[in-house]
Structure 1
Amino acid sequence: MTNKTATDWNENSNSQIRIAYAGLELKELVANDLASYFRIDFNNTIKELEDYLGDQSILTIPDIILVEVDKDEECFALVDRLRHNFLLNGLIIVMLSTKKDKKQVQKAMQLKLHDFYTYPFSTSDLRERLNFLVKFKLIKPKLIELSKEVDITYKMPFGKRFLDLFIAGGMFICLLPVMALVAIAIKLDSRGPIFYKSKRVGTGYKVFDFYKFRSMRTDADQLLAQMAVDNNQYAAEEEGSAKAAFVKIKNDPRITKLGNFLRGSSLDELPQLFNIIRGDMSVVGNRPLPVYEAEMLTSNEWSMRFLGPAGLTGLWQISRRGKEDMSERERKKLDNFYAQKYSLWLDLKIIIGTVPALFQKEKV
């Protein structure tokens, strides 16, 4: 019996997935490379696609809307109308564009599309992504539920958990006066809460509340969509890449004056000691990611990073942190390496190396 490759499930299981397509410029490419894997109904214009969708019943609705960005960008208005349609608001929507346009990407992010590809792109990557999106939707609609479906689970070794409690518990007690002073300074520096709480995805796609001292303006999250396009250090490195999975803002203007000091000294990270004590994460591991980043790391190659522990510090912090030439791929490779090779001795080396890393100059 032959061994199956990582993409065999794409070739064997998605012939029943139905796609409604709209556009002419990339129609031939899609027909040649994807029509043998999916059931695709081709439409030349946005109007034809909308008429086609209007004729469907609950039993014949397509699984995916795959649409080219048209000259008048009516495609974005279509998405808004679909989202207000009770029958169609749950459809997976992916857009294709023939030109690089930051404003288009920004609109796509604001509309929370499932994906956005700029030509030239790999149709095999697109095929795998479309199939994953359907499979993901069928399993559970939220990442918080996906953690129950992961084939390989991570169990915290006793030695690692003991080290976490010893280090985090001791630091928490010793640094309580410092944290109290930081809290007072934040309150005096700018309006808003002392702590910043966000949903992060850690080991096995587990979602938890992640705590930091607030270092940004209170409207920081609302500004992220535009800045992820214009200022992202991990902007797509290759021509035709859809987008970067990680978001790291260069010279982030959302950071307050005090926030710059807190980040430069890593004091903003201190509340994560509470996350470690709770068991959400470890002292050493791969950084837990915001949900919007984790949703993009779903390919067979990169989901490996979620099979290891989530952590406060890790290989990325001690090896390449703050260097402008660090690529998104390099960071993901470091995450995957740690997930496969982590050990108590490697953790101790990383902890020792973290201290000098805290004093690296970093403008991201």
Structure 2
Amino acid sequence: MGTTTPELTPALPLKPAHEKTETAVIRQLSPEKIVIFVGNTYLDVRDTPGNYKFLVVQDINAAQASISEVLNVYRKIPAVIIYRFNSKYEQECEQWEQYFNDNQVLRSIPFFMYSEQVSEQLKSFARKYRFIDEVITRDCLMHTLEKKITFVSKFKYLSVITRQENTEPNKKLTKSKRTPGAVIKRLTDILLASMALVLASPLLLIIAVAIRMESKGPIFYAAKRAGKNYRIFKFYKFRTMVPDADKKLKQLSHLNQYSNEQGGTVFYKVTNDPRITKLGAFLRNTSLDEIPQLLNVIKGDMSLVGNRPLPLYEAAALTTDEWSQRFNAPAGITGLWQISKRGNKDMSTEERIGLDISYANKHTFGYDMWIMMNTPFALVQKENV
């Protein structure tokens, strides 16, 4: 290939043209924690969180040679591949696509594209390639990299397992095992969600106009959420907060009702959240903000009844064998938590997860119908959360 795979033990001196010489330190750690960084880096990676050993290579050919060395010598798969955005990104992403097509087992490796600045154009380009999991910046690399790797590894592994099961010779047999209850549940979801959207269309229009009149910003709130088997999808709600509300999370962390001294914060919920608009408070207290989720139900991302899909930063904290059980159930608009203790500010993280796991372990079509019949009694919350 015309390149030499760097050794995994010494630090790698980098001398980018017209730039100050930097040293990327490769930690003396276990080989299963190797990070393949493709391209010049001007960061001191010694402070990167997690027990990772950074292997910095100059181009895609050297990266692929390094991956082969890690596989053949250490019998391990790299923890993540981080590809630095450069002028050849279009051509090289095509090369990466072909590489992963030829080496299907490596598709389980998290793949991040690194850029100093992230534009909508770059995000749009990255979405064209299924192997690119996210576009990250310096801030992510130095502060949240470990959480992202943990989460992406989990759901990519599950995706690979599912894909392998569906390509087995007994694929038809596997599909035939789908229970009658599951089929009825899906048909019921489509029928009821479609009818509800049609009947609610005048109300949807009124709410949309009211949101636009109250404050500037989008009418709908769309964010990535993790559902069944950590599957990520775009989750829709009416916007109930001021624009850029997500950027103010850190400022309000001390008000989080799920904060605890022992295990840290998993869920995030603030009583009387100051980011919520007046109309937004009404929409939340009446659950009208959740009507757009009927689109997610029709698409198959969610069910009418299930465990709430979680923001990625929350799902990333629930990857242990015990807590991940809550992801065995479908994502839903309403569920056991909503009818049990919705709005209860004294509910702990463990209690919330316990309700999710309880539903995941015993959900049936009849149980779902019972939850749906009890949902109207829980629509008006006791607390403004």
Decide which of 293, 302, 307 is 1:286's aligned counterpart: 307
Cα root mean square deviation, aligned:
3.8
Cα distance in 2 between the residues matched to 1:161 and 1:196: 25
After superposition, the C-alpha distances for 1:163-199 in whole angstroms (9 at most, x for unaligned) are: 1112211111100000010000011010001111000
1:276 aligns with 2:245: no
In structure 2, the CA distance between the partners of 1:77 and 1:56, relative to structure 1 (3 Å rule), is closer
Decide which of 306, 314, 319 is 2:340's aligned counterpart: 319
The residue that corresponds to 2:255 in the other structure is 231
Deviation at 1:343, TM superposition (A): 0.7
In structure 2, the CA distance between the partners of 1:159 and 1:60, relative to structure 1 (3 Å rule), is closer
The residue that corresponds to 1:145 in the other structure is 156
After superposition, the C-alpha distances for 1:4-41 in whole angstroms (9 at most, x for unaligned) are: xxxxxxxxxxxxxx9xxxxxxxxxxxxxxxxxxxxxxx
1:168 aligns with 2:193: yes
In structure 2, the CA distance between the partners of 1:168 and 1:108, relative to structure 1 (3 Å rule), is same
Q: Which has the higher contact order (CA 8 A, sep 6+)?
A: 1
The residue that corresponds to 2:359 in the other structure is 338
In structure 2, the CA distance between the partners of 1:250 and 1:145, relative to structure 1 (3 Å rule), is same
The residue that corresponds to 2:20 in the other structure is none
Task: Assess if the C-alpha contact under 8 Å between 1:63 and 1:91 holds in 2.
Answer: no
Deviation at 1:245, TM superposition (A): 1.4
The residue that corresponds to 2:215 in the other structure is 190
Task: Assess if the C-alpha contact under 8 Å between 1:143 and 1:206 holds in 2.
Answer: no
1:178 aligns with 2:210: no
Unaligned runs of 5+ in 1: 1-17, 19-52, 66-74, 93-106, 116-132
Cα distance in 2 between the residues matched to 1:254 and 1:142: 33
The residue that corresponds to 2:143 in the other structure is 111
Q: Which amino acid aligns with 1:145?
A: K
In structure 2, the CA distance between the partners of 1:112 and 1:225, relative to structure 1 (3 Å rule), is farther
Q: TM-score with structure 2 length normalisation?
A: 0.60
Cα distance in 2 between the residues matched to 1:198 and 1:291: 9
Q: Which amino acid aligns with 1:78?
A: D
Task: Assess if the C-alpha contact under 8 Å between 2:25 and 2:46 holds in 1.
Answer: no
Task: Assess if the C-alpha contact under 8 Å between 1:143 and 1:207 holds in 2.
Answer: no
1:297 aligns with 2:322: no
Cα distance in 1 between the residues matched to 2:25 and 2:285: 57
Deviation at 1:344, TM superposition (A): 1.1
In structure 2, the CA distance between the partners of 1:262 and 1:61, relative to structure 1 (3 Å rule), is same
After superposition, the C-alpha distances for 1:224-281 in whole angstroms (9 at most, x for unaligned) are: 2332x31211112xx442x121111222111111111111111110000010011110
In structure 2, the CA distance between the partners of 1:309 and 1:289, relative to structure 1 (3 Å rule), is same
Deviation at 1:309, TM superposition (A): 0.9
Deviation at 1:150, TM superposition (A): 5.3
1:328 aligns with 2:298: no
After superposition, the C-alpha distances for 1:19-66 in whole angstroms (9 at most, x for unaligned) are: xxxxxxxxxxxxxxxxxxxxxxxxxxxxxxxxxx9664899878389x
| Aligned ranges 1:341-356 → 2 under 5 Å | 341-356=362-377
1:262 aligns with 2:232: no
In structure 2, the CA distance between the partners of 1:86 and 1:234, relative to structure 1 (3 Å rule), is same
Unaligned runs of 5+ in 2: 1-7, 9-22, 36-43, 58-78, 83-138, 167-174
In structure 2, the CA distance between the partners of 1:212 and 1:288, relative to structure 1 (3 Å rule), is same
